[in-house]
Structure 1
Amino acid sequence: MKKQNLFFAAIAALVFTSCDKTEIKEVEKIVYADQAGSLSLTFDARYGDSDFELNKKYPYQLVNSEDTYDLEFEFNRLRYWVSNVKLVDKDNKEHALPDSYYLVEETNEIEVEHLINGEKYPAKKREKVTIKDIPSGEYKAIKFSIGVDQKYNDNITLTAGELGSLNGMGVSDGWMWFTSYKFLTLAGTMHWAAGTPTSKALSWETGSNELFDGAEKTIELATPLKIDAQNSAKITLDVDVKELLSATDQPWTNNSISQSKKELMKAFRDAFLSKSLTFKEAGSVSVEAN
């Protein structure tokens, strides 16, 4: 009986000791090289050789068939949708990244006319997009579109990625009473540089399903990027706003570009894709396991 009592006493002591002092051990995280990785995609806005800033006057020399003119442009808004991102691996296989809809923007505060109580869209600057869950591999090119494909453009109540009627150009910068998205918009004021104080508002925008066709941009990389759980990638693109002004040689006359001017919308879109948007640099970064 004494031995049995001693046994139960020992068990009780162990129980009370466990209650008084609980030891927690951290389990080491194991990272496998073939797990998904991430990519940061930066759209670095510039004006020629200068950094792009809102509410700052930039010189622009306009040369057309009539004469040469010195103007100044002062911007208050640059916004566009980046969508349908695809990565091309070293074997030329395309990997479409699901729900890849991102709003890149630099804008002053915007009044939301269609909402009550005087709501305003806050001033924002967003140049960097981070894409996660990219299948591990080596990629030699990236493709994406500027705008929103027909499925979502025809029904802005649908959500995917950052799309939605309460985000970005779906509300504060929408048109036709929210029936579709604007794909690309540039707004501000243009001034004669000298001789007269005359100024005009600038409002250029693109949209419509027909303009989404042909809106894809392919960026070829000099060296393939390795992406996996241990290697994230970075791609930086330049967006030269000065090149966007080449969409027309009559900006004073065509200070407003919208749905009623389809050819100018196309020219504006093409100026963005072929002249303004260019490759800057890319690289892989080793990720330390946490």
Structure 2
Amino acid sequence: MKKQNLFFAAVAALVFTSCEKTEIKEVEKIVYADQAGSLSLTFDAKYGDSDFELNKKYPYQLINSSGTYDMEFEFSRLRYWVSNVKLIDKDNKEHAIPESYYLVEETNEIAVQHLVNGEKYPATKREEVTIKDIPSGEYKAIKFSIGVDQKYNDNIALTAGELGSLNGMGVSDGWMWFTSYKFLTVAGTIHWAGGTPTSKALSWETGSNALFDGGEKAVELTAPLKIDAQNSGKITCNVDVKELLSATDLPWVNNSISQNKKDLMIALRDTFLSKSLTFKEASSVSVEAN
């Protein structure tokens, strides 16, 4: 009789344990569905209809008041800061992503001028940014700035996201002995397709606190994007470098744009935001499918 009682007790314990595990799994599933998700934000660099590549000559026909000229542009660097990311949900509520500072770049090797041991920043290509801990929801738009806001731009020693004096554009590409950031850099060589002189260095850069205001880009999605722990989001923007060249109709004369040419820096910033940087596509992808 005791053995029989023990048997029934064991069976009851097993059933209770099995039910208890099932209940725990259901609770975990409910919590999991409401957890934060992630977003892949890609900036696909192009030159017109072609993929963008460094160290390659691209044709460019310049038309201005003086006539029509056949030129070629060869690039060695394209870099810019994407910052202050905000997602707008279907109810028009903005969700700011904390410490969202990302360096997007395609660059040849860069000598680091302020270091004495000949250190070099390696050749790098980075077009995709992964943003984590996004609140669960459906989003219809994204906003971000090109550049660095005043708090961090005034003190390059501060760290947030990818910012910092020993990171990325801070260590190898800053203004005035690295006391502030360059927001956008395009470098390379301009060539005449025929005639002389044959080539000239290209160095276009934007920066300064004054240029940060007005440097926000809003991208409207074609359909709401679902993001949660079970669905990651993907947003892709095109960056057409050929369109960026239209910032001036005198590129040979204005081959150098920097802090002493504020109007041209503004034109370069505005051209990048309004013409070069455009929405391509967006989608939600099941985490299990990744």
Aligned to 2:72: 72
C-alpha RMSD of the superposition: 1.5
Aligned to 2:228: 228
What SS does structure 1 have at the residue aligned with 2:288? coil
After superposition, residues 206-245 of structure 1 pair within 5 angstroms as: 206-245=206-245
Pick closer, same or farther for the CA change 1:67–1:165 going to 2, 3 Å.
Answer: same
After superposition, residues 1-290 of structure 1 pair within 5 angstroms as: 30-31=28-29, 32-196=32-196, 198-288=198-288
Q: CA deviation at 1:195?
A: 2.6
Aligned equivalents of 2:89, 2:102: Cα separation in 1: 22
Aligned equivalents of 2:49, 2:288: Cα separation in 1: 36
- Contact 1:230-1:289 within 8 A present in 2 as well: no
Question: Amino acid of the residue matched to residue 254 of structure 1?
Answer: N
Question: Amino acid of the residue matched to residue 125 of structure 1?
Answer: K
Question: Amino acid of the residue matched to residue 128 of structure 1?
Answer: E
Q: Structure 1 unaligned segments of length 5 or more: list them.
A: 1-26
Aligned equivalents of 2:77, 2:63: Cα separation in 1: 25
Aligned equivalents of 1:159, 1:195: Cα separation in 2: 49
- Percent identical: 85
Aligned equivalents of 1:196, 1:56: Cα separation in 2: 20
What SS does structure 1 have at the residue aligned with 2:152? helix
Q: CA deviation at 1:198?
A: 1.4
Q: Which has the higher helix share?
A: 2
Question: Amino acid of the residue matched to residue 196 of structure 1?
Answer: T
Aligned equivalents of 2:90, 2:106: Cα separation in 1: 34
Aligned equivalents of 1:175, 1:91: Cα separation in 2: 41
Aligned equivalents of 1:43, 1:121: Cα separation in 2: 21
Aligned equivalents of 1:89, 1:278: Cα separation in 2: 20
Aligned equivalents of 2:280, 2:289: Cα separation in 1: 29
What SS does structure 2 have at the residue aligned with 1:70? strand
Q: CA deviation at 1:197?
A: 5.7
Aligned equivalents of 1:259, 1:169: Cα separation in 2: 17
What SS does structure 2 have at the residue aligned with 1:288? helix
Q: CA deviation at 1:97?
A: 0.3
- Contact 1:235-1:283 within 8 A present in 2 as well: yes
Size of the aligned set, in residue pairs, is 264
Q: CA deviation at 1:288?
A: 2.1
Q: CA deviation at 1:175?
A: 1.4
Deviations 1:32-65 (A, max 9, x none): 2110000000000000000000000000000001
Aligned equivalents of 2:25, 2:177: Cα separation in 1: 54
Aligned to 1:20: none
TM-score between the two structures when normalised by the length of structure 1: 0.89
Q: CA deviation at 1:182?
A: 0.2
Deviations 1:96-145 (A, max 9, x none): 00010000000000001111111100000000000000000000000000
Question: Amino acid of the residue matched to residue 193 of structure 1?
Answer: A
Deviations 1:48-105 (A, max 9, x none): 0000000000000000011110000000000000000000000000000001000000
Q: Structure 2 unaligned segments of length 5 or more: list them.
A: 1-23
Aligned equivalents of 2:115, 2:203: Cα separation in 1: 21
Aligned to 2:9: none
TM-score between the two structures when normalised by the length of structure 2: 0.89
What SS does structure 1 have at the residue aligned with 2:177? helix
Greater C-alpha radius of gyration: 1
Aligned equivalents of 1:28, 1:289: Cα separation in 2: 21
Q: CA deviation at 1:289?
A: 9.6
Aligned equivalents of 1:232, 1:40: Cα separation in 2: 8
Aligned equivalents of 2:192, 2:215: Cα separation in 1: 33
